[in-house]
């Protein structure tokens, strides 16, 4: 299945009232080989194994639900290639913006992603003013790169 997504560095984090409570996420990158990533995620107790391939606006993505025991076992294989964040889902017109506020060694970093049904929808999207510089396809800004290397310099 293809994932069509644009990613931005947040210029201004919306107020609590707009963002809502958010969900706690832990992601660990079990393997990264070029543009292919194998990740495990625990989002408030719901665990998944995800394989992504490619870079930029459109990527291949397969997600499989796993149980907590499998997550725990695979998490150890990620070593220090992990990230923690709180994800807030914010309506933006008919779409949903996923605002990620990072914790741990990435504390203070705020990124927002929007998924689209088509490439045309993605290309026609006009970002709200609180979105900042676009990061889609930029080296160093994938979650796998953030987990491995930390945040790059200013965008």
Q: What is the CATH number of the domain that holds 80?
A: 2.40.320.10
- Would 47 be classed as within a structural domain? yes
- In the structure encoding, which two tokens stand for residue 61, read together? 């993505």
Determine which helix (DSSP H) or strand (DSSP E) holds 101, and give its type and residue range: strand 95-102
- Would 39 be classed as within a structural domain? yes
- Would 138 be classed as within a structural domain? yes
- Would 137 be classed as within a structural domain? yes
User: What residues make up the domain containing 8?
Assistant: 2-148
Tell me: the pLDDT tens digits for 25-83?
999 999 999 999 999 999 999 999 999 999 889 999 999 999 999 999 999 999 999 99
pTM: 0.92
- Would 155 be classed as within a structural domain? no
Look at the chain and report how many structural domains it folds into. 1
Residue 118 clears pLDDT 70, i.e. is over it: yes
- Would 154 be classed as within a structural domain? no
Residues paired with residue 84 on neighbouring β-strands, in sequence order: 26
- Would 61 be classed as within a structural domain? yes
- Would 23 be classed as within a structural domain? yes
Residue 91 clears pLDDT 50, i.e. is over it: yes
- The total of other beta-carbon atoms located within 10 Å of residue 114's CB is 23
* CA proximity to 47, closest of 76, 27, 77: 27
């Amino acid at each position: 299945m293809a994932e069509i997504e644009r990613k931005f560095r947040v210029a201004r984090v919306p107020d609590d009232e707009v963002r809502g409570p958010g969900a706690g996420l832990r992601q660990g990158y079990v393997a990264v080989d070029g543009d292919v990533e194998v990740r495990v995620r625990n989002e408030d107790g719901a665990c998944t194994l995800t394989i992504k391939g490619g870079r930029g606006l459109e990527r291949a993505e397969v997600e499989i639900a796993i149980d907590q025991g499998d997550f725990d076992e695979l998490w150890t294989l990620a070593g220090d290639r992990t990230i923690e964040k709180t994800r807030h889902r914010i309506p933006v017109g008919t779409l949903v913006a996923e605002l990620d506020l990072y914790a741990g060694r990435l504390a203070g970093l705020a990124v927002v992603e929007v998924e689209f049904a088509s490439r045309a929808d993605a290309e026609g999207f006009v970002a709200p003013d609180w979105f900042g510089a676009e990061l889609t396809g930029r080296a160093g800004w994938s979650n796998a790169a953030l987990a491995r290397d930390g945040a790059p310099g200013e965008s």
